[in-house]
């Protein structure tokens, strides 16, 4: 295994302009202050969070009872992490003061022995770590730790790191292979990633060892979870009939070849596996990650980068099962897919990983929030028919409109931490190479091994295919050539550049000195077809331009979108009108309508009328009122 | 309202030959003895029934605890009813001895005050009638009463009728508008039908009055069920988010315009409404029935006569929501649809009611059992993909193979009682008219008012369109002309018959004297299309010949049936090969296959091969091993 590439710190980048400049500013100025108010229950009329109040009760500052899910603490961890990334990029005394308050609350809620979890502190501390499978303690610890590491890195303030290290040291004593230690592992992976980050920061082997222990212990027989449930005198609860697959613990992880069970768990686990493999040079483990990556992206991923085909257990089902209307495609799962793909790029620089990041980021992740960043989707279907979502209980997980908060509030702060840390996923560095995976406009002052590299990316990508990169430094440069590109040009200082194309990247040799690279990726709207094995897409085509998947909405096209017919050959046109800076598309097509009221008849009883079909980016749907939406439209021959 | 027609008694008919002769013999010789063994827990390795044992425990003959659903008693009621119909048609001392044993057990389990329900007798008699909404007591009473009336009519033995009358008298005292009476009504309708049958037998007004009370009380505000749940200190359980709609008690029944909630309940209720309307000459109530009938058959019925679009609550969802793969389409619901339609024919002689009976009977009802009549479907989808049924928890209600028994065993004995009483639905009589709704081969000695009529129907319908009817008697005759018929001939004694066509019936004037009517309905395989509003059938066609819906099965066509393409115009051919006497069909079409493994691509990446598509009757699917099945196939232009 080659020495893996490293993610860059968000502190080394300034995201400006383009699609993400305003989004990052919005996160700092709007989303995080809003979410802080939500966590403090200061916004009336929305789902109660009680997250901060749980900490206050655990700390003895407030009286009351714990409220919310067992994983309510994680919301604060993610919020703190996102706040840290924002502070890296931009000073913000108000935000920092809120974060400091959160830190003090964490410290106050910590038990004398280091334990830190409000659910068990508020209910029954003797039950701690007795139900690893269901109670999310290690998951919450992971999120708090990621927040702590990021906050320390952002501010240099060690307080929160000390608090979390005490807790993690407690955990590292409690869990492990030793006699008298607990041989369990988290029901919901996440701490594995956090432990690797703590290891990167401290270089203390025990943190990496614990992450590796959690990974390797998982799925051994006899099953820790089965034993645990027996001790709890509980029947083994086979979540949605998945059994141990639901928890990715049906097999040791190295022998798992399919992404199974709860989608977010599966992708956090895979990310943790990759993290450990990269740090321990464990090629076999990294190979297992590759297998899982290929399975999820080649058999189980929606065109929009969404994953998780059923709401029952928020889970994967089986290969090629990708129903658009019943999709779960949780926002968090696409966030997790970005995490996983970015880690794969560290060990295996191939375009397919960056392609998956693009699909997830530009479609499902961005769709997860409203244009004003104050309303959120948890579930991101590809076909929406509000009447069905209301009246078919099998579709009641589908909300046709974003909500200001969610009882299970994992997604909004997860979006916050992903987007505020975008540089981690946009660029990676290794000994002599800086690699650009996502064309995120901004400046990057980074080091490829010992060599400083400065990059300035100016682009409106993916709203435009023009990307200008000004680069200085001795290292080589690799630029992602997305899978969707049919034609492109790459110039250096106005002349055709010299480069080598390999595995979805264009390699340019350094040194560079304020060299200006001009990349033009030809953006053309095109049809996309799912593999014929995908039953739910039969006879249908989707429309994509660049990495941006489009959809037809009721607001433009009327209702009954299943009656639109997109002719196979007609051109898809870019129209002058835009939405949030994104181009809109149109195509001349047809609209069918029922010619009579008979439920069944022996002839096609439809009328066909010419109709111009308008498409908007999927990530912008449901910003103009409630209505139908479809990504895949039926085709007609002419 | 004209004086309603009457159903005929199965005692006045002998079903012989054709499709149903062997089935009725099979019910008497195979199905009922088998089911008796099941009810007695004498068949190892299948779902436990415990039904008889519950009665033995309630009677104090056995020790033990009640086992099964709260409605377990109803299985015996339906079995007894079916046994009675068989005994009407054919003496069978062994079956009669079993039935007599059942009757003694019913008598022994009856409480001194007349109450008769094993669940409450075995658990807590003080709780009787305290949870009408959920506990199915009146439903069980209805089934036992229907069995008792039928058994009395079959054998003249009054024992069981006395037992049940004591119970019903107890119920009639308990429920009603009077002060001190309970103002509730059954959570699961059924007793309404039974009360009307008891009224028909005894002419005692109080039974009809009680049926009418249950019908009219239903859905009044304040809601009896809401009050009841409050008394039970239970949160109002909104089954599958339907609320009171689930129980058809969201509105007074006369104001209900859509079939809502649990499908079997809805259709039993509608049948009970019709029964009461017919006996009380309540035109407004009968109009409500017509509205509900039109809604269910014109907006909510599968092509196969199945109803109930979701497994969540076994319920209706909304108009035109007819997903083939997630269909519930419970066997019992199609049985109930036959009941409802037959009652509508009593008050409104129109072909549409008989058409619905045909759709339900020849497709979903017959599909509900295996060719050997020992295995049963509860759920009858139109699209089956066994991998999905196994791995998508949202489809785990779909069994790709029939089962020898079901934990919730309502369907098998319901099929038994429907099929063994088929004459009730095949022919009705009124003052001067005998009407044939279903062409069921056999002899019928009936009375139209005062006039004796003798009919002999010789036909293999629906396997053939040739129907010979020998008729004697003074009354007129009406023959159902099914909706699917495009061409037909009707001869009388070899010459064109004189008749008048009206509302889906051919009227011939009597008197008849051994006249031979020869009806030929041209059976041609044809495509059927769902209304364009049915989203799940977009771009697809089904195949039907006569009332028999066909399907493509994996056994003939390989897997991935969604990749078959039925060209719009190619002829559908009847082939010489038959299955269970039914013609099979073929059409030259296409099979697509994925040309590569890419999950998404910008061109149609499929290969197309010529393939002969074979169709078998839907009612015979899953008799040749487990595999895929589809009723609706995608069409291709050529």
pLDDT in tens, B534-561: 999 999 999 999 999 999 999 999 999 9
Q: How many CB atoms lie within 10 A of CB A607?
A: 12
Q: What is the pLDDT of residue B313?
A: 92
Catalytic pick from B51, B86, B196, B410? B410
Q: What is the pLDDT of residue A382?
A: 98
Q: What is the pLDDT of residue A297?
A: 98
The domain limits of chain A are 426-521, 528-636
Check if A530 contacts B (Cβ < 8 Å).
Answer: yes
Contact B57/B65 with Cβ under 8 angstroms?
yes
- Option in B297, B311, B317 nearest A391 (CB): B317
Contact B48/B67 with Cβ under 8 angstroms?
yes
Give residue A59's Cα distance to chain centre.
32
Distance CA A239, CA A314 (A): 10
How high does pLDDT run on average in chain B?
Answer: 96
Mean pLDDT, residues A178-183 taken together: 96
pLDDT in tens, B94-114: 999 999 999 999 999 999 999
Q: Per-residue pLDDT for B562 more than 90?
A: yes
Within A90-158, where are the H helices?
93-109, 118-122, 132-135, 137-155
Q: Per-residue pLDDT for A1 more than 90?
A: no
Q: Per-residue pLDDT for A289 more than 70?
A: yes
Mark yes or no for CB contact A597/B301 under 8 Å.
no
Residue in chain B lying closest to A545 (CA): B602
pTM: 0.96
Band of residue A235 on the pLDDT scale cut at 50, 70, 90: low
Check if A569 contacts B (Cβ < 8 Å).
Answer: no
Q: What is the pLDDT of residue B221?
A: 95
Active site residues of A: 314, 410
List the 125-184 stretch of B: residues with Cβ below 8 A of A: none
Distance CA B478, CA B430 (A): 11
Query: Comparing C-alpha atoms, which of B530, B519, B522 is closest to residue B478?
Result: B519
pLDDT in tens, B277-311: 999 999 999 999 999 999 999 999 999 999 999 99
Taking one residue from A and the other from B, the number of pairs with CB-CB distance under 8 angstroms is 145
Band of residue A409 on the pLDDT scale cut at 50, 70, 90: confident
List the 339-358 stretch of A: residues with Cβ below 8 A of B: none
- The radius of gyration of chain A from alpha carbons, rounded to an integer in Å, stands at 24
Using the 8-state DSSP alphabet, how is residue A573 labeled? E
Q: What percent of chain B is modeled with pLDDT above 90?
A: 94
Mean pLDDT, residues A113-122 taken together: 97
Residue A578, C-beta contacts closer than 8 angstroms, at least 6 positions apart: A584
List the 401-440 stretch of A: residues with Cβ below 8 A of B: none
With vertex at residue A443, the alpha carbon angle to CA A515 and CA A278, rounded to the nearest 5 degrees, is 100
Q: What is the pLDDT of residue A95?
A: 96
Using the 8-state DSSP alphabet, how is residue A15 labeled? E
Chain A residues with CB under 8 Å of B634 CB are 538-539
pLDDT in tens, A208-221: 999 999 999 999 99
Q: What is the pLDDT of residue A242?
A: 87
Query: Comparing C-alpha atoms, which of A636, A621, A637 is closest to residue A383?
Result: A621
Cα–Cα separations (whole angstroms), residue B247 to A232, A418, B131, B136: 38, 47, 13, 12
Chain A residues with CB under 8 Å of B528 CB are 600-602
Mark yes or no for CB contact B385/A527 under 8 Å.
no
Q: Per-residue pLDDT for A239 more than 60?
A: no
Q: What is the pLDDT of residue A241?
A: 72
Pull the structure tokens for residue A619.
């990530």
Band of residue A237 on the pLDDT scale cut at 50, 70, 90: low
pLDDT in tens, A416-435: 999 999 999 999 999 999 99
Using the 8-state DSSP alphabet, how is residue B9 labeled? P
Contact B271/B341 with Cβ under 8 angstroms?
no
Q: Which helix (H) or strand (E) holds B428?
A: strand B427-430
Mark yes or no for CB contact B312/A598 under 8 Å.
no
Contact A593/A617 with Cβ under 8 angstroms?
no
ipTM for the complex shown? 0.95
Where do the DSSP E strands lie in B463-504?
A: 466-473, 476-480, 488-492, 495-496, 500-502
Residue in chain A lying closest to B638 (CA): A637
Check if B590 contacts A (Cβ < 8 Å).
Answer: no
Q: What is the pLDDT of residue B238?
A: 53
- Option in B394, B534, B599 nearest A531 (CB): B599
pLDDT in tens, A518-556: 999 999 999 999 999 999 999 999 999 999 999 999 999
Mean pLDDT, residues A228-247 taken together: 79
pLDDT in tens, A54-73: 999 999 999 999 999 999 99
pLDDT in tens, B466-521: 999 999 999 999 999 999 999 999 999 999 999 999 999 999 999 999 999 999 99
A59 burial via Cβ count (<10 Å: 0-12, 13-18, 19+): middle
pLDDT in tens, B6-45: 999 999 999 999 999 999 999 999 999 999 999 999 999 9
Q: Per-residue pLDDT for B247 more than 60?
A: yes
Buried b (16+ CB within 10 A) or exposed e, B464-493: bbebbbebbbebbbbbbbbbbbeeeebebe
Check if B597 contacts A (Cβ < 8 Å).
Answer: yes
Q: What is the pLDDT of residue B242?
A: 87
Contact A516/A540 with Cβ under 8 angstroms?
no
Q: Which helix (H) or strand (E) holds A80?
A: helix A73-89
In degrees and rounded to multiples of 5, residue A417 shows phi and psi of -75, -30
Q: What is the pLDDT of residue B241?
A: 72
Using the 8-state DSSP alphabet, how is residue B571 labeled? P
Q: What is the pLDDT of residue A200?
A: 97
Contact B207/B158 with Cβ under 8 angstroms?
no
User: What CATH number is given for B426-521 in this structure?
Assistant: 2.60.420
Band of residue B244 on the pLDDT scale cut at 50, 70, 90: very high
Q: Per-residue pLDDT for A240 more than 80?
A: no
When mean pLDDT is compared across A222-236, B324-338, B406-420, the lowest value belongs to A222-236
Catalytic pick from B314, B330, B554, B628? B314
Mutate to test the interface with A, among B600, B605, B637 (most CBs of A within 10 A): B600
- The radius of gyration of chain B from alpha carbons, rounded to an integer in Å, stands at 24
| CA torsion angle A330 A331 A335 A338 (round to 10) | 70
Q: How many CB atoms lie within 10 A of CB B159?
A: 16
């Amino acid at each position: 295994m080659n020495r893996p590439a490293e993610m860059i710190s968000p502190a080394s980048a300034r995201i400006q302009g383009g699609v993400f400049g305003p989004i990052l500013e919005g996160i700092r100025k709007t989303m995080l202050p809003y979410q802080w108010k939500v966590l403090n229950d200061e916004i009336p009329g929305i789902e109660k969070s009680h997250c901060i109040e749980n900490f206050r009760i655990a700390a003895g500052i407030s009286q009351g009872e714990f409220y919310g899910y067992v994983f309510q603490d994680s919301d604060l961890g993610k919020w703190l992490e996102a706040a840290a990334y924002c502070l890296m990029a931009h000073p913000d005394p108000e935000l920092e003061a809120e974060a400091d308050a959160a830190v003090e609350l964490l410290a106050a809620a910590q038990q004398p022995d280091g334990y830190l979890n409000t659910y068990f502190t508020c209910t029954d501390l003797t039950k701690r770590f007795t139900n690893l499978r269901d109670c999310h303690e290690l998951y919450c610890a992971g999120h708090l730790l990621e927040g702590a590491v990021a906050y320390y890195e952002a501010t240099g303030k060690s307080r929160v790191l000390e608090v979390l290290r005490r807790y993690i040291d407690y955990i590292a004593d409690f869990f492990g292979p030793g006699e008298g230690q607990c041989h369990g592992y988290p029901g919901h992976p996440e701490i594995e990633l956090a432990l690797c980050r703590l290891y990167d920061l401290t270089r203390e082997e025990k943190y990496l060892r614990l992450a590796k222990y959690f990974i390797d212990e998982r799925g051994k027989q006899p099953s820790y979870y089965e034993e645990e449930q027996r001790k709890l005198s509980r029947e083994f609860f086979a979540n949605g009939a998945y059994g141990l697959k639901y928890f990715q613990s049906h097999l040791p992880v190295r022998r798992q070849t399919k992404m199974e069970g709860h989608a977010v768990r599966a992708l956090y686990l895979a990310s943790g596996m990759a993290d450990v493999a990269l740090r321990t040079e464990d090629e076999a483990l990294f190979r297992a990650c590759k297998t899982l990556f290929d399975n999820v992206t080649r058999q189980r991923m929606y065109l929009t980068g969404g994953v998780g085909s059923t709401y029952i257990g928020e889970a994967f089902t089986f290969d090629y099962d990708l129903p658009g209307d019943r999709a779960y495609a949780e926002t968090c799962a696409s966030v997790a897919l970005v995490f996983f793909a970015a880690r794969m790029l560290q060990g295996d620089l191939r375009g397919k990983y960056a392609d998956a990041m693009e699909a997830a980021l530009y479609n499902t992740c961005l769709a997860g929030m409203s244009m004003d960043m104050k309303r959120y989707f948890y579930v991101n279907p590809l076909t929406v028919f509000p009447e069905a979502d209301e009246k078919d209980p099998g579709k009641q997980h589908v909300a046709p409109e974003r909500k200001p908060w969610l009882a299970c509030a994992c997604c909004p702060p997860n979006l916050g931490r992903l987007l505020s840390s975008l540089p981690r996923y946009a660029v990676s560095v290794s000994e002599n190479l800086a690699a650009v995976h996502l064309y995120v406009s901004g400046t990057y002052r980074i080091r490829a091994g010992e060599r400083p590299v400065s990059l300035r990316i100016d682009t409106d990508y993916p709203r435009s295919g023009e990307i200008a990169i000004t680069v200085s430094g001795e290292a080589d440069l690799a630029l992602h050539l997305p899978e969707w590109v049919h034609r492109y040009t790459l110039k250096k200082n106005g002349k055709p550049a010299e480069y080598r194309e390999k595995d979805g990247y264009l390699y340019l040799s350094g040194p560079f000195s304020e060299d200006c690279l001009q990349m033009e990726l030809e953006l053309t709207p095109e049809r996309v077809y799912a593999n014929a094995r995908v039953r739910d897409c039969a006879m249908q085509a989707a429309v994509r331009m660049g990495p941006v998947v489009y959809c037809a909405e009721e607001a433009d096209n009327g209702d009954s979108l299943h009656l639109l017919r997109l002719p196979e050959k007609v051109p898809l046109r870019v129209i002058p009108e835009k939405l949030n800076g994104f181009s809109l598309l149109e195509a001349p097509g047809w609209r069918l309508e029922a010619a009579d009221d008979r439920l069944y008849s022996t002839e096609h009883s439809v009328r066909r009328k010419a109709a111009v079909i308008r498409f908007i980016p999927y990530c912008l749907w449901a910003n103009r009122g409630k209505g139908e939406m479809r990504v895949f439209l039926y085709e007609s021959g002419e």
